[in-house]
Amino acid sequence: VLSAEDAYEKIRAGATFVGLVTGLIFNGPQFVEEVNSGLVALLRRDGFTHISQAVGADVKGVQ
């Protein structure tokens, strides 16, 4: 994961965990805050009030 958008895409696809190590290596410790604030903005944009609501949002109902 190299951005909040990357993490959000994986969460909407069903991920409950995303790895930030590569992003930390390339962007430094401030990367965690950038991803966190970016995720909050993306969740609000899409009308979610809790991150758990976004988990699997793109695949719910798909069998």
Report yes or no on whether pTM surpasses 0.75. Answer: yes
Residue range 14-23, pLDDT digits in tens: 999 999 999 9
Question: Helix or strand or coil: residue 23?
Answer: helix
**With the CA atoms of 10, 16, 19 and 24 taken in that order, what torsion angle do they form, in degrees rounded to the nearest 10?**
90
* pLDDT for residue 63: 54
What is the arithmetic mean of pLDDT over 26-33?
96
Instruction: Work out the average pLDDT over 40-59.
Output: 97
Domain ranges in the chain? 4-54
Q: Note the pLDDT tens digit of each residue in 6-15.
A: 999 999 999 9
Residue 34: per-residue pLDDT: 97
Residue 28, helix vs strand vs coil: coil
